[in-house]
Amino acid sequence: MAVDAARSEEGFTSAGAVRVMVAACRAAGLDDRGAELIRLGENALFRVTSVPVIVRIARSVEYLPAARKEVAVSRWLAGEGFPAARVVEDLEQPLVVDGHPVTFWHLIVDAGRAATYGELGAVLHDLHALTLPDGLELPRYSAFGLSDLRLERASGISDDDLQFLRKRGQELKERLAELRFGSPLGPVHGDADADNLMVDRSGVVHLIDLENFCVDHPEWDLEVAAHEYHRLGWVTEQQYAGFVDAYDRDLREWPGFATLCAIQEFKMTTWLMQNVSEGEKVAQEVGRRIAPTVPAPNAPSASPHGPGPPRLSRATSGP
């Protein structure tokens, strides 16, 4: 369903998002008065005060297929009784307002604590046990994301570095093509970080941010926590042990783990590469990632699971 709003050439700004939100709420029969902008990024999120609803506005119409997928996935998970972000029932969704896909979600009242890695393992275990229904069309996991596009548009790094990254990307694609996964295809969240869980006031853990949901091998979801622990050092031994105990699998024991880690770090590097002109610190970090690996003075001793952490920070990591 398309709704007209006052058109503007100002781009995706807070003022433009407010106009879209107002038009969308009125089309949906919701009172927009007092609605609060709580985030403006790839999406604009508004909290409606008259009812416990979140209005989510995508940046452009190119996101319409993803919005449709999120709505379909949310409705399927609701039918399964699986705790996840819920779209508002009995509304035609998504709306398209002034070229922006808009969806409406039930507010999850946060308990005020972060989900644990044990809870993440339990949620993923239950998710991967579900059987996808006929008629729910999902893409395969995008292993390399926007890396090729980022390399095509790259500026501020040398031709030699670009050539190296292109060659590295091709090598990783060849390694992935030869990989034999240990699990069958099934539902995959696609961004299975603990930050994509919310704990409500009754203690129920909800899976959120469904835009990367896909059908693929569950190893892609398990790689996130294993990589954060083993390669990045963002997760403690105790946290990762809780994850493994809850899921009942340690992905580091799978021979393909190193390949998935290498792909993730390649994506992280091409993401950071986009910001190389923003300062010397970023440029140095990009150069460090591209340069041959040299063990850090405080690197952990050799592990049977492969090399230790490359010492990246969350602030400069990217997706």
pLDDT digits (tens, 9 = 90+) for 240-268: 999 999 999 999 999 999 999 999 999 98
Q: Is 86 left (phi over 0), alpha (psi -120 to 50) or beta?
A: beta
- The CA distance from 171 to 164, in Å, is 10
Residue ranges per structural domain of the chain: 2-106, 117-316
What pLDDT sits at residue 316? Answer: 43
Q: What pLDDT does residue 261 have?
A: 95
pLDDT in tens, 185-228: 999 999 999 999 999 999 999 999 999 999 999 999 999 999 99
Count of C-beta atoms within a 10 Å radius of residue 289: 20
Q: Which fold has domain 2-106?
A: Phosphorylase Kinase; domain 1 (3.30.200)
**Which of 226, 261, 263 lies closest to 247, judged by CA?**
226
Q: Which CATH class is domain 117-316?
A: alpha beta
Q: Which residues lie closer than 8 Å to 27 by C-beta, 6 or more apart?
A: 1, 3, 95, 97
pLDDT for residue 314? 38
Contact 28, 90 (CB under 8 A): no
Q: Please tell me which residue, 295 or 15, carries the higher pLDDT value.
A: 15
Amino acid identity of residue 198, one-letter, is M
Classify residue 62 by its DSSP letter. Answer: G
Length of the chain: 319
* Rounded distance between C-alpha atoms, residue 245 and residue 259, angstroms: 23
Bridge partners for 188 per DSSP = 214
Question: If we measure between CA atoms, which residue out of 83, 100, 89 comes closest to residue 40?
Answer: 100
* pLDDT in the model for residue 155: 81
Paired strand residues for 214: 188
Long-range contacts of 87-95 (CB under 8 A, 24+ apart): 88/28, 88/53, 91/28, 92/1, 93/67, 94/64, 94/67, 94/68, 95/1, 95/2, 95/3, 95/24, 95/27, 95/28
